[in-house]
Amino acid sequence: MRILLAEDDPLLGDGLKAGLRQHGFQVDWVRDGEAAERELRAQSYAAAVLDWGLPLRDGMTVLSRIRAEGLHLPVVVLTARDAVADRVKGLNVGADDYVVKPVDLDELAARLRAHIRRAHGQPQECLQAQDVVMDTAARAVTQGGQAVALSTREFDLLHALMLNAGRVLSREQLEQHLYSWGQEVDSNAVEVHIHHLRKKLGSGLIQTVRGVGYMLMREAAPAR
């Protein structure tokens, strides 16, 4: 899943970016509030981690402005302020969660996964479609109880499709889930990953909607 990180401290930002990538997130990192607001308007992110004390435009202003514009992605506020009044203010402005520095990366990653799942109507840690089960925390997939080895990109693509099961996603939307800034994207990358997933999981799980994109089928198509 691709997320936006807005943090002005270079050491903390670099550590969060590296740590969240190890947890399977694709991370775009900005260092001020104006850049954060601009990217949140321009790009499709699964979630955002927003520092309270950003330069140029503080995190609460950014949050209130994007909420007023109807952007509903999950936002976790990151701050050194731990007073109850500050937490209440952040939640009232539109934050989904509140993490106090110093940050525990495992906890932050777990909170992000949970909010992203709930934003897609999937409250459980494990996602399931047909006989395929995905453990998002362990980044493991089984089919019929048997482990299936997937590459990082294959897992991330399947994750995006399972979160949106029954909904068609275009190639461009899937690319946005899979790649962050500066990563080279081959023109047929999504098609190649879909081909590999079908070889490993069978052809009935992912349907091609000609001229539109791809859709993961919650239930197997009835036999003819």
For residues 196 and 60, give the distance between their C-alpha atoms in angstroms, rounded to a whole number.
43
Residue 1 has pLDDT above 70, yes or no: yes
**What is the CA 167 to chain-centroid distance, rounded?**
16
pLDDT for position 182: 62
- Torsion sign, CA atoms 40, 42, 47, 48: negative
What CA–CA distance (Å, rounded) separates 136 from 25?
Answer: 11
pLDDT band at 219 (very low <50, low <70, confident <90, very high): confident
Give residue 218's pLDDT.
86
Please give the share of the chain, as a percent, with pLDDT higher than 90.
72
Q: Strands 97-100, 75-79: parallel, antiparallel or unpaired by DSSP? A: parallel
pLDDT value, residue 222? 59
42 three-class SS? helix
Predicted local confidence at residue 221, as pLDDT: 64
Distance (Å, whole) CA 212 – CA 198: 18
Which pLDDT tens digit goes with each residue over 7-27? 999 999 999 999 999 999 999
pLDDT band at 142 (very low <50, low <70, confident <90, very high): very high
- Helix, strand, coil % in the chain, rounded to nearest 5: 40, 20, 40
* Lowest mean per-residue pLDDT among 71-85, 147-161, 164-178: 71-85
Can you tell me the mean pLDDT for 204-215?
Answer: 94
The amino acid sitting at 12 is L
Q: How far is CA 86 from the centre of its chain?
A: 26
Domains, the chain: 2-119 (3.40.50.2300), 126-216 (1.10.10.10)
- What DSSP string describes 172-219? HHHHHHH--TT----TTHHHHHHHHHHHHH-TTSEEEETTTEEEE-SS
Whole-number pLDDT of residue 223: 53
pLDDT tens-digit series, residues 35-80: 999 999 998 899 999 999 899 999 999 999 999 999 999 999 988 8
C-alpha separations of 65 from 7, 105, 108 in Å:
18, 27, 24
| Model confidence band, residue 116 (pLDDT cutoffs 50, 70, 90) | very high
pLDDT of residue 183: 67
